[in-house]
């Protein structure tokens, strides 16, 4: 089994919404390709290709999170560049349905979506959609959708297991992957980058701060137990990863 990070664009974010500090930070957007003996899996899939040319639909969100996203960076192009046909992806595990994690869904035609049931529900809540938290154009493309709970085992062999980590959103989930080199956890936006876990910092716009702190403490415990955490938007960590991934 192998995990490979695919660079699917960046976001320039205001630090005021993330850590409360001044200035901006460049956040990498990553889709993780997991080659499992039983199939090809993506964990998250980046931004909608339409945001390469027009970000008006993001509304106020752009003030805090400005996409830096160009043709060739979309998930289908990144897969094709590696010789992977997007229709060969069997499963898409989505951490959550925000625009920078689920926007590439429409480019992966034949995969089954694996998403926490609370997240799918929230992503179809009209109030949430109207307030700009979610936009179904990112993820509603008629895929088979498997709604799961904490502990869902993707292939039934214990190697890919969903971990409910609510707080950033209602139904956020992380994914534990058992590599030969040891267990890895893809944290999604439960933890943007390492310092946020070290200092227990929570972005101010999340769904439920207390819940997120509990989820972060859970992941910190896994880290203490020897799990390698791969964070949602950690530029330093991504740069240090081998380009051909982890095995």
- Write out the residues near Zn ion by the rule CB under 5 A: 100, 189
> How far is residue 61's CA from residue 48's CA, in Å, rounded to a whole number?
15
Min CB(142)–Zn ion separation in Å: 24
Q: Which residues are CB-contacts of 94 (< 8 A; sequence separation ≥ 6)? A: 43, 44, 45, 101, 102, 105, 113, 114, 115, 119, 139, 173
Residue closer to Zn ion (CB basis): 1 or 230: 230
Please give the backbone phi and psi of residue 246, each rounded to the nearest 5 degrees, phi first. -115, 140
The tokens describing 236, both together, are 């330093």
CB of 87 to Zn ion, least distance (A): 26
In the complex, least distance from residue 194 CB atom to Zn ion, rounded to whole angstroms:
15
Q: Nearer Cβ to Zn ion, position 189 or 234?
A: 189
Q: How far is the CB of 192 from Zn ion (least distance, A)?
A: 7
Provide, rounded to whole angstroms, the least separation between the CB of residue 144 and Zn ion.
24
> Is 100 or 135 the residue whose CB approaches Zn ion more closely?
100
CB of 189 to Zn ion, least distance (A): 4
């Amino acid at each position: 089994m192998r995990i490979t990070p695919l660079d699917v664009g960046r976001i320039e974010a205001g630090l005021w919404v993330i850590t409360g500090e001044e200035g901006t930070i460049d956040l990498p957007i990553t889709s993780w390709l997991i080659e499992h003996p039983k199939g090809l899996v993506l964990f998250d899939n980046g931004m909608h290709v339409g945001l390469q040319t027009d970000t008006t639909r993001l509304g106020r969100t752009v003030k805090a999170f400005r996409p830096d996203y160009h043709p060739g960076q979309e998930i289908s192009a990144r897969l094709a560049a590696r010789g992977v046909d997007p229709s060969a992806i069997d499963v898409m595990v989505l951490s959550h349905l925000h625009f920078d994690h689920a926007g590439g869904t429409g480019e992966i035609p034949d995969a089954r979506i694996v998403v926490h049931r609370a997240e799918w529900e929230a992503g179809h809540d009209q109030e949430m959609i109207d307030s700009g938290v979610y936009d179904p154009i990112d993820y509603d493309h008629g895929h088979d959708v498997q709604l799961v709970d904490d502990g869902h085992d993707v292939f039934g062999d214990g190697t890919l297991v969903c971990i409910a980590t609510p707080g950033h959103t209602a139904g956020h989930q992380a994914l534990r992957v058992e590599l030969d080199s040891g267990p890895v956890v893809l944290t999604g936006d439960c933890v943007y980058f390492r310092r946020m876990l070290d200092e227990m910092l929570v972005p101010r716009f999340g769904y439920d701060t207390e819940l997120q702190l509990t989820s972060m403490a859970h992941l910190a415990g896994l880290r203490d137990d020897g799990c390698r955490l791969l964070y949602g938007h950690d530029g330093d960590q991504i740069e240090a990863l081998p380009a051909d991934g982890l095995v």
